[in-house]
Chain A
């Protein structure tokens, strides 16, 4: 609690004690005690208007600031706000008590008291969740260590120029993006990606600001200024996120604008019309009763529950999503995301890893590992991406599992790829007389065997009969000593979570998934079939992707939203054309952070569905609060109008609804299990 809140709490307690004391004092001293037959035994010791002044003390203690604000509001011609409502209602109640001479001022004070308790709770809850959320996004580095004359000096990250060497010790945050030049360590990226898997980092690797260094001391050569670093971009995005207001928020502020005057009007009508009607028809006008009911009306009508809980829900929802590695640029996008029915993806880099990997060794006449070893050695002087992927696979010591019936071997998924590092080293001295054969492949002597590695054309030229591959991808044939020894299949690898991701999307209510890719039809079709994607548009140029998205936009129904997911590298126009642009794996890609509305910090496609689920939940809470608050208010207004609800009930309806709505709103913050 801050100072203001503590002061408020003290005021509330003092006023409450005074009020209760006065209430009992009145019972003993303020009323005549009357015997059963109606004779007065003892006259009241203290009479009006002393009670009035005594009761005014707690009233002013708890409500003087509200009075002041209401008067200010009237002077500034901003009449209809909650302060005004409270002041009119409580002064009205005091006036009724004065007129009827029943000394029942407690009600007015209690209304003010509970109103203030509600305000205090609200400010406490908002402050608390504000702190919670900023703690979640606490990735701002406070300093950078710069080595000077052999000693470390802490400087403001803002003052570190590009190409400086900074030192990051274990437990510290990496302040600026850069490249490791010395040392190796494990990084905790959870603050950025929401993933708790630590990332191994070695010399020469790029590191991203905001990660926490866990194990070793590293020296980093900075490649960007602090202001351009990932961490600054993300902070900027998060801090400005709720500036884009959603329709629901707009609706609520508009609603409050008309609602309060409307209720004041009907309260006035309630105070005047029924007694007037009764007067005309010759009944008892009972002005006091109707004025009291009108005042009850005013107390119930206060729109605080809505005004506070809706923005709070969005704020909590965006904060929670951020904690899961999903950055949402505004509550309007969160709202739009919840209505997503069509999702279009890019293929490479989104559903697939975008790097070429050895995906199978087929029809190998010799041991699979041996075949790979020969191929890797023969290719070891080449810098072609395909050669590189063969070499990398060999070095990783992948284990192969052969399907005996087809003669096809697939790599066994292996968690720790670094386990075998070092066991399978390329020894260039084993390789002699390497010869590149015109873009078709390589011929080399490895361990005294003549190894041919290349495509169909190479095999044909050498008079070796190659087997066709029935899979999609790049096929590299290998021949040992002039004899065909099988082929290596290299293809882009589907991300392990991609299938789950598509399933999750359908489950989350997406009715149509479309893949847009520049790749060949055969590749695209096979990936789509694998993943269970509904539609494929293949062989698209970047401009075609935009028109494909436009076509989809035209075909959708009015309230549906279309999301496009891409890795952001060359999708910027498509990202901005779609209703919602989602960029993934965007750590370090400035263009993507800028163009997209929602940024997934890691490259896990399953996060798309998670983002939709989070938005759905957030919107559900928003609507719960809207219906709940308006529903209870209307109910109480009805009860108040016919005289069933008194002012006590009214203030509980107002403050109670607000407290419940705020607690409900904070639920949006917890997204772990969504």
Chain B
């Protein structure tokens, strides 16, 4: 399943960091952060609960870049 989220982040490199962090989160199959459109497209693993996974993603992103936001 794929879902798209609006994000808020300041720099292109920070967006890359968010992408890396989201990819490493359990339940996330793939993730692409589009800095220019301020969007995060997440592909979830089969059977994963997007809501719970996205909360972890947000936590992990905050860890690497505290100045970021994902609008769930």
Contacts and interface: CB of A to CB of B under 8 A. Distances in A.
A78 B64 contact: yes
B66 A72 contact: yes
A122 interface: yes
A568 interface: no
A311 B36 CA distance: 8
Contacts of A73: 64
Contacts of A119: 10-11
A384 B60 CA distance: 66
A82 interface: yes
A311 B35 contact: yes
Given A122-B11, A304-B13, A308-B11, A76 B64 contact: yes
A123 B16 contact: no
B41 to A, nearest CB: 6
Interface in B8-64: 10-13, 16-17, 32, 34-39, 41, 63-64
Most buried by A among B11, B36, B38: B36
Contact of A242 (B17, B37, B67): B37
B13 A130 contact: no
A496 to B, nearest CB: 37
A315 B10 CA distance: 16
Nearest to B38: A130
Contacts of A312: 12, 36
A256 interface: yes
Interface in A179-218: none
B39 to A, nearest CB: 7
A241 B39 CA distance: 11
Contacts of A65: 67
B36 A315 contact: yes
Contacts of B13: 81-82, 256, 304, 307-308
A69 B16 CA distance: 15
Contact of A243 (B17, B34, B66): B34
Contacts of B32: 243, 245
A240 interface: yes
Interface in A284-321: 304, 307-308, 311-312, 314-315
Given A130-B36, A239-B39, A243-B41, A308 B63 contact: no
B17 A78 contact: yes
Contacts of B67: 65, 69
A133 B36 CA distance: 10
A4 B67 CA distance: 11
Contacts of B4: 239-240
A264 to B, nearest CB: 16
A664 interface: no
A239 B11 CA distance: 19
B4 to A, nearest CB: 7
A654 to B, nearest CB: 14
A239 B35 contact: no
A239 B41 CA distance: 11
Interface string A216-246: 0000000000000000000000011111010
Given A76-B64, A78-B17, A240-B4, A307 B12 contact: yes
Contacts of A243: 32, 34, 39, 41
A123 B4 CA distance: 23
Contact of B12 (A69, A133, A241, A311): A311
Nearest to A244: B32
Contacts of A241: 37
Nearest to A319: B36
A81 B37 CA distance: 23
A240 B67 CA distance: 24
B11 to A, nearest CB: 7
Interface in A242-278: 242-243, 245, 253, 256
Most buried by A among B12, B17, B41: B12
A292 to B, nearest CB: 27
Contacts of B41: 240, 243
A56 B66 CA distance: 24
Contact of A239 (B17, B37, B63): B37
A76 B12 contact: no
Contact of A253 (B10, B16, B38, B63): B16
A43 B63 CA distance: 51
B36 to A, nearest CB: 4
Given A81-B13, A82-B13, A242 B34 contact: yes
A487 B29 CA distance: 66
B40 to A, nearest CB: 10
A95 to B, nearest CB: 27
A243 B12 CA distance: 14
Nearest to A314: B36
B63 A76 contact: yes
A76 B34 CA distance: 23
Nearest to B66: A72
Nearest to A78: B64
B66 A242 contact: no
Contacts of B16: 253, 307
A241 B41 CA distance: 11
A123 B36 contact: no
B16 to A, nearest CB: 6
B61 to A, nearest CB: 11
A78 B37 CA distance: 25
List of 7 A-B pairs having minimum Cβ-Cβ separation, nearest first: A315-B36, A243-B32, A308-B12, A307-B13, A307-B12, A242-B34, A243-B34
Interface of A: 4, 65, 69, 72-73, 76, 78, 81-82, 119, 122-123, 126, 130, 133, 239-243, 245, 253, 256, 304, 307-308, 311-312, 314-315
Given A130-B36, A240-B34, A311-B12, 19 more contacts: A69-B66, A69-B67, A72-B66, A76-B64, A119-B11, A126-B12, A126-B36, A240-B37, A241-B37, A242-B36, A243-B32, A243-B34, A243-B39, A304-B11, A307-B11, A307-B16, A308-B13, A312-B12, A315-B36
13 contacts: A69-B67, A73-B64, A78-B64, A123-B11, A242-B34, A243-B41, A253-B16, A307-B13, A311-B12, A311-B35, A311-B36, A312-B36, A314-B36
